[in-house]
Chain A
Amino acid sequence: MTIAASNPLSLMAHLLRRAGFGSDRNELEEYAARSYEDVVDDLLNPERFDAPEDEILSRFYPHLHANKDNPAIWNGRWFYRMVNTDRPLEEKMTLFWHSVFATGWTKSEHTPTMVDHIQMLRTNCLANFRTLLLGISRDPAMIFWLDNNENHRNAINENYGREILELFSMGIGNYTEDDIKSAARAFTGWTYDTPVALYPFGHFDVKYRFRADDHDGGQKTFLGHTGNLDGEDIINIIAKQEVTARFIGRHLYNFFVADEAQVPAWSIAPPADPSAIDDLAKAWIDSDADMKVVMRTLFNSEWFKAARFKHVKSPAEFVASVLKLSGEYAEPAPDLHKLEGTIVTMGQKLMDPPSVEGWHTGKEWIDGGTLTERVNYAIDTLNNPDKPGVKAIIDRISSQGNLTTPEQLVDNILDLIGPLEVESGTRDTLVAHAQVDGVLDWSSGTAAEISTARVVQMLTLVVSAREFQFS
Chain B
Amino acid sequence: MTTAEKNGKTKDPVLVVVQLSGGNDFMNTVIPFTEGIYYDNRPLVGVPDDKSLPFTDTLAWHPSASAFKRIYDQGKMAIVQGVGTEHASRSHFRAMDIWHTCEPEIVATEGWLAKVIREIDPEGANPVTAVNFGRGLPRALAAPGVTATSVGDLDNYGLMSGIQLQEERDLDLQIFQRMYTPAIGSGQVMNYLSQTGNNVLSGADMLAEAPRQYRSKVEYADNPIAKSLRDVARVHTTGLGTRIFYTTHGGYDHHAQEVPTHARLLHEMTTAIEDFMQDLHDHDAAEEVNILVFTEFGRRIKDNGSGTDHGTGGGAFMIGENVKGGLYSEYPSLAVGDWKFGEDMDFTIDFRSVYSTILNQWMGLDPVDIVGGQFEQFNPYTKTMV
Contacts and interface: CB of A to CB of B under 8 A. Distances in A.
Interface of A: 104, 106-107, 198-199, 259, 312, 344-347, 352, 354-355, 357, 360, 362-364, 366-373, 375-376, 379-380, 383, 423, 425-426, 429-430, 433, 457, 460-461, 464-466, 469
Interface string B154-186: 000011111100001000100110111101001
A190 B57 CA distance: 52
Contacts of A376: 159-162
Interface residues of B, number: 51
B136 interface: yes
A372 B94 contact: no
B148 A367 contact: yes
Contacts of A346: 136
B118 interface: no
A368 B189 contact: no
B92 interface: yes
A-B complex: 10 closest residue pairs judged by Cβ atoms? A369-B150, A380-B162, A345-B135, A369-B137, A429-B178, A466-B193, A106-B93, A355-B107, A107-B91, A345-B136
Contacts of B150: 367-369, 372
A429 B175 contact: yes
Given A352-B93, A370-B137, A464-B179, 4 more contacts: A366-B192, A433-B175, A464-B160, A466-B194
B306 interface: yes
Contacts of A368: 127, 137, 147-150, 196, 199-200, 203
Contacts of A362: 189
A70 to B, nearest CB: 14
Interface of B: 91-94, 97, 107, 109, 127, 132, 135-137, 142, 144, 147-150, 152, 158-163, 168, 172, 175-176, 178-181, 183, 186, 188-190, 192-194, 196-197, 199-200, 203, 255-256, 304-306
Nearest to A352: B93
Nearest to A199: B306
Given A372-B150, A375-B160, A344 B136 contact: yes
B95 to A, nearest CB: 10
Contact of A354 (B107, B137, B168): B107
A355 B106 CA distance: 10
Given A363-B189, A369-B137, A466-B180, A355 B194 contact: no
Contacts of A352: 93
Contacts of A369: 132, 135-137, 148-150
Contacts of B162: 376, 379-380, 383
Contacts of A104: 93
B5 to A, nearest CB: 32
A375 B160 CA distance: 7
A469 B127 CA distance: 22
A169 B264 CA distance: 48
B289 to A, nearest CB: 23
B137 A465 contact: no
Contact of A259 (B189, B190, B255, B256): B189
Given A367-B137, A429-B178, A469 B193 contact: yes
B159 A360 contact: no
A202 B92 CA distance: 20
A426 B200 contact: no
13 contacts: A198-B255, A345-B135, A345-B136, A363-B193, A366-B192, A367-B142, A369-B136, A369-B137, A370-B137, A430-B179, A457-B168, A461-B179, A464-B176
A105 B233 CA distance: 36
B37 to A, nearest CB: 24
Contacts of B160: 375-376, 379, 464
B92 to A, nearest CB: 6
A362 B190 CA distance: 11
A460 B93 contact: no
A466 B199 CA distance: 14
A106 B196 contact: no
Nearest to B158: A372
B274 to A, nearest CB: 29
B196 A371 contact: yes
A198 B93 CA distance: 21
B179 A426 contact: yes
A466 to B, nearest CB: 4
B189 A355 contact: no
A375 B147 CA distance: 18
